[in-house]
Amino acid sequence: MDEDERTHWENIYRQKAPDAVSWYRRHLETSLSLIERSAPDRNASIIDIGGGESTLVDDLLASGFKNITVLDISQTAIDVTKKRLGAAAKKVRWVAADITQTVLEPRAYEVWHDRAVFHFLTSPQQRRAYVRQVALAVKPGGSVIVSTFGPEGPTKCSGLNVVRYDTDSLHNEFGAHFHLVESSKELHETPFGTTQQFLYCYCRVEAK
């Protein structure tokens, strides 16, 4: 794990309340609706990459999903989310790890979700490592939902540089085995009253 990155995120989550970070939304409505559409079976296995302290896991449990993994580089973020969920936290698998470096079970997931993590990978090596993880861990025919800052989104987030994407440039990072189902843009209103453009891409992994 890159120690600097881990320390950066630990410091953010130790210092800020869950609703005091720019990416906070009460509910990740677009993410939830894409996951529900891509996985009608509530037994589908879902992994949320860089779930942070978001309420997506609460909403997935409320929606009846039974096979959820939340991965984040920050143990603090995971602990806050577990505490919020209380007893329901036991129904979720929690992984504190850097997605570019951890070992994932091959073909384990029907749905891969990431809101606002991929855009922090500013080096081609990091992005290649991430895409290798997706290709390994998502079942053939599974869904990949990735949301980054859009072309008019911010150039930095929480003090870190980001890469902004349009549909083509994001899809190109993943390659031809990922069939684009749809993409959309979202104007996210931050807790500070400003707006940020997000891009959502929803792909299906080629069924072999």
117 binds ligand SAM (CB under 6 A): yes
Q: Which two tokens stand for residue 44?
A: 């589908």
Please, what is the minimum distance in Å from the beta carbon of residue 48 to ligand SAM?
7
Choose, by CB under 6 A, the member of 38, 47, 67, 98 that binds ligand SAM.
98
To which H or E segment does residue 29 belong?
helix 29-38
In the chain, the amino acid numbered 89 is: A
Distance separating alpha carbons of residues 51 and 45, to the nearest angstrom:
15
In the chain, the amino acid numbered 25 is: R
Which residue lies nearer to ligand SAM by CB, 43 or 63? 63
Choose, by CB under 6 A, the member of 39, 68, 99, 144 that binds ligand SAM.
99
Choose, by CB under 6 A, the member of 50, 142, 150, 153 that binds ligand SAM.
50
Distance separating alpha carbons of residues 77 and 109, to the nearest angstrom:
22
The H helix count followed by the E strand count for the chain is: 6, 9
Q: How many residues belong to the site for ligand SAM (CB under 6 A)?
A: 21
Give the footprint of ligand SAM on this chain (CB under 6 A). Answer: 5, 9, 23, 28, 50-52, 54, 71-74, 77, 98-100, 115-117, 120, 157
